[in-house]
Each structure stands twice: as structure tokens, then as C-alpha cells.
Copies of this chain bind each other. A is one copy, B any other.
Amino acid sequence: MNSLGAMQDFPLRIMRLMDHAEREHGTREIVAARADGTTIRTNWKNLAHDARKMGQALERLGIQPIDRVATLGMNHDRHLASWFGVVGMGGVLHTMNPRLFDDQLAYIATHAEDRVLLYDAAFETLVERMKPRWPTIEHYIRFDDQFDGWLAAEDGDYSWHEGDERDPCGLCYTSGTTGNPKGVLYEHRSTVLHAMSIIVPDLFDFSARSVMLPVVPMFHANSWCIPYAAAITGLKLVICGDNHPEHLCQLMNDEGVTHTAGVPTVWLGLIQHVEQTGASLGKLEMVIIGGSAAPEATIRWFRKRGVHVNHLWGMTEMSPVGTVGAPPQNWEQMSDDEQVEYMTRAGRSMFGVELRTIDDHDNVLPRDGVSAGRLQTRGPGVLRRYFKQDHDACDEEQWLDTGDVAAIHPDGSIQITDRAKDVIKSGGEWISSIELENAAVGCPGVAEAAAIGIPHPKWDERPLLLVIRASGSNVSEQTIRDHIAAHVSRWWLPDAIEFVEELPHTATGKLSKKDLRDQYRDYRFADAVAMIGRD
């Protein structure tokens, strides 16, 4: 307290969110569609009670504050209760991605020193296989009757663990492109501030009347902070263990879903389903699309149905939301095309997220919407130091390199042009692999496309485009090339287009350029094609 007077002490601890939820909207429904086909209806009051019992149960196992408790599960009510149960007793919630490879799973659980693993019955085989490689895990609890029985032994007469607001509360590993995965250790303060920030009208626009169906896995990037944001607002949370379009549509209609969120591929599936069946989107108002860029066609499809697409950019290291494409101040004055163009950008930064772009010589670039450079960020929800590392990930001024290449427009909206490591460096300049891919998938008959740089004796690198044809299509290389030519500079045109049956993806569903580069390490352009080069 300063010497003159004072406002009150209120450590920004996550369980304050749960206290608020329990007290102010305890009866607000949480609906969970479990993997076994049953639907569970619970609420914040019950969830808080389960979290308290879990705090007791973990302490009975000898788990201490700051100890890591891991989960390996899809989205369901038991998993949600565990989020608050682990954090409530002061533990660190380590959400593991079940789609990781065995070597990665072995590494991260051991690196995290996880002491307990809560897991879905569906992953029993995986868990049994991994047990010998998880020496630190002392207790395995299955998210089924075993979990219920474990909690049933407790009475819930428990007070949340208190501590400093900078204490850690969560751990998420990012699958780096080189070396081992790195852990982002979230803190109570950073998480509460982030949750407070993302519910505002220009981000997720969550209110007590919202009904939110996150199609974001609870193991993906802090689940976009949605469970915590939900606790503040008293919205109705609808969670689902799968992302089958039919199931999502049914939940939207049955539960009156107004908001949803997920990666672009989820929506491609949903759109296809709706187009084929004529299914309704119910009361859907907003779809938040992140993880990778939302295609213009997706934006236009939802828009035509009165649903606003809120384009999100962020990263695990950012808690994870960085920018959101809510309508800007001059929205009403924009033409239809201008609005759509704006929506294809990655949005503008929220309070607490500072962004800048720098060139190869670390000069800060102007916000002119054209100059593209390495995107850097800093703020209260941004990583300073990875788990157990001995050096900061950011520089002395706290600027963290995002690994993305972007241009910032004068209105603050950003346009991600590429991942820094995926940029194709040709003749001393950059070709955006993403822009090539976007141009290619806009060509009828192209289902998916990937552009990578192939070594070239004269230009250093030149683009190779890999294309999966849409089923039934036999679109030609020339047609695709002509289509792309209408969207990019001539010297960006790929030196070759190869048709493939499939493209490699990462555990989080993104195109794996790293695998592609490995696969095409020895690829060389035919001489004739190669010499087209740059004008």
C-alpha cells in the first residue's frame, strides 16, 4: 500500500473467475456432448463443486502447488472440471495434444515432470504404450467412471489454494520446427488479464446471452482462453468431443448456439455438410476462425448467411489471442468487397498486445499495408521465457519474434503474408508461399495447395506448387497457372506444379511445410522451366 491511501488488494488469480461464475451465474447451463453419445447438462455451480473435490483428491495423492498435472483428452465436462480442479489446488495444468507422435509425447511429459495423467478411455492403447516412457507420472486416472469414483470419495469442502498472481497455472508445448517442443508456462495474472480482454465487443463479444460452442480442442493453445472467458460472462458453454459437421450443426440448432470458434478446416467440413443437406445454422451470429488464415470463400459463405466471421491471429506464446478482425470504425462506409477484404486480414491488436514488423536489418517498418517484415509482439499475455530455459525468448525490450511475416496497415490491421521459415527467397526478395496457395485454392478444381521453395542455382530459391485436385476434377497445370497469374506478380509464378494425392499435416492440422521440404529435398526443376526465372 502506498503511504497516502489505497484501493483494495485483489490478486488476479484464476479461481476469482470461478468464484464469480459460481456466485453470479451458478445455474447457467454447461452442455457437454460426450464421446459415448450421451449429453451431460451441468452448470457453473456443479463445476465449481467438482473442481473443489478434485483439489481434495489431488492433495490426497500428495500433489503440491506448482506440480504439473497432465490431461490427454478431447472436449468434455470432466476435462473442463479438471481445468479448474488442477488450477484450484495451485497446480499447473498441462494439456497434452493426443495427436503428437510418441517421441514428442515421451519428451514433453517427462520434461514437464507430470505427476498425474487424466486421459480419455479412447486413448487407453496410447497410454499403455507410453507408460514405460513416462517415468515421472505416478498416477493415471481415466476420464470415465474411474474419474467419477475418484471425485465421489471427496466432499468438496475445500478452499482454493491462494498465492501470488504471477504463479504458473498452465503449460502448453509448441511443436517447434527444429529441436524439441518448448513449453509455454501461463501465469494466473496473464490468463485473467487475457480472459478479461477477449470478451469485449471488438474481440469475441461474449455476453450473458451468448451460447458458445468452441470447436477448439482443450489441448490447443490454452483452448483460446475460452473456458476462462466463459467463466467471466455467464455465457452458456456447449462442448463437444468431436467435430463432425452433422454433430456440430445439430448442437447449434438444439442448444441455440450464437458463437463458435475453430480452425478453417472445421468450417470447410461444415460448409460442405450444410450445402449437401440444407442443414440450418440456427441462431449462429459469429464464427471465430483462427489457427491459420480463413479463406475468402469461407468468409463470404458465412456472411451470406448473416454470420460474422471474426478472423483471429495468435499463437500459443500469446495466451493465445493477438488480433481479431472485428468491424473497424469505418465499417458502415465500406463497400461489400472492402468489408470482405478487411475480413481476410488477420484483424487488429487488442489492448495489451503490441505489434511491430522489422526488416532483415532490424529496422522497424512503416504501417503502410505494403512493407512486409518479421512480426514481433509484446504484452502481458506474451511469453518471456520458455519453461525450464535459462534465457528469455524475447529481447531486452520484451519483443518476441512471432515467426510470422506480416504487413501492418495504417488502421492497425495486419496481414500475415507467410511464416518466416516458409517464405521463398528468390533473387534477394520474398515470395509469400501463403499468397501462392490462396491464389491456387481459388482456382476451381483445386482442393488444397502447398508452395515451398526449391533450391535454384541462379535465384537461390524458386517456388514449387503441390496441388491436390478436387474429387472428380482434372484441372490442368496451365489452368491453375493462368488463375494464379491474375493474383500475383509474374515472377512469383511457380516454376513447377505437381499433382499429389495428399499433403502432410502437423498434429494441430496445419500444412507441414517442414515435412514437405524434407520430402522434396532432392527435387530439381527441369532446366527449361527453371530458366523462366524472374523477369
Q: Chain B residue with minimal CB distance to A166?
A: B2
Given contacts A196-B351, A202-B207, A2 and B168 within 8 Å (CB-CB)? yes
Copies of this protein in the assembly total 2
Partner of A384, one of B8, B17, B388, B400: B8
Residues of chain B lying within 8 A (CB to CB) of residue A1: 166, 384-385
Asked if residues A5 and B168 are in contact (CB atoms below 8 Å), the reply is yes
Residue among A6, A7, A329 with the most chain B CB within 10 A? A7
Q: How far is the CB of A170 from chain B (nearest CB, A)?
A: 10
Asked if residues B24 and A187 are in contact (CB atoms below 8 Å), the reply is no
Residues of chain B lying within 8 A (CB to CB) of residue A236: 329
Given contacts A197-B196, A201-B207, A326-B208, A5 and B388 within 8 Å (CB-CB)? yes
Please choose the segment from A54-62, A122-130, A375-383, A439-447 that sits at the chain B interface, where 4 or more of its residues have CB less than 8 A away: A375-383
Indicate if A412 sits at the interface (CB-CB under 8 A).
Answer: yes
Dominant SS among interface residues on chain A: loop
Q: How would residues 277 to 319 of chain A score, 1 for a CB under 8 Å from any chain B CB and 0 otherwise?
A: 0000000000000000000000000000000000000000001
Q: Chain B residue with minimal CB distance to A202?
A: B207
Bound Cα distance A481, B398 (Å): 69
Asked if residues A385 and B329 are in contact (CB atoms below 8 Å), the reply is no
Indicate if A516 sits at the interface (CB-CB under 8 A).
Answer: no
Asked if residues B233 and A380 are in contact (CB atoms below 8 Å), the reply is no
Indicate if A322 sits at the interface (CB-CB under 8 A).
Answer: no
Residues of chain B lying within 8 A (CB to CB) of residue A8: 190, 378-384, 394, 398, 400
Bound Cα distance A379, B394 (Å): 33
Indicate if A453 sits at the interface (CB-CB under 8 A).
Answer: no
Asked if residues B387 and A10 are in contact (CB atoms below 8 Å), the reply is no
Residues of chain B lying within 8 A (CB to CB) of residue A4: 66, 168, 185, 387-388
Asked if residues B348 and A24 are in contact (CB atoms below 8 Å), the reply is yes
Q: How would residues 13 to 37 of chain A score, 1 for a CB under 8 Å from any chain B CB and 0 otherwise?
A: 0001101100111001000000000
Asked if residues B201 and A206 are in contact (CB atoms below 8 Å), the reply is yes
Q: How far is the CB of A397 from chain B (nearest CB, A)?
A: 10
Q: How far is the CB of A130 from chain B (nearest CB, A)?
A: 24
Residues of chain B lying within 8 A (CB to CB) of residue A400: 8
Q: For chain A, residues 185 to 212, give those with C-beta under 8 angstroms from any C-beta of chain B.
A: 185-187, 189-190, 193, 196-197, 199-202, 205-209
Residue among A205, A331, A380 with the most chain B CB within 10 A? A380
Q: Chain B residue with minimal CB distance to A208?
A: B329
Q: How far is the CB of A367 from chain B (nearest CB, A)?
A: 9
Q: How would residues 393 to 435 of chain A score, 1 for a CB under 8 Å from any chain B CB and 0 otherwise?
A: 0100010100000000000100000000000000000000000
Q: How far is the CB of A256 from chain B (nearest CB, A)?
A: 9
Q: How far is the CB of A315 from chain B (nearest CB, A)?
A: 13
13 CB-based A-B contacts, threshold 8 Å: A5-B185, A5-B386, A6-B166, A6-B383, A8-B381, A10-B352, A12-B380, A16-B351, A20-B352, A23-B412, A24-B412, A208-B326, A209-B329
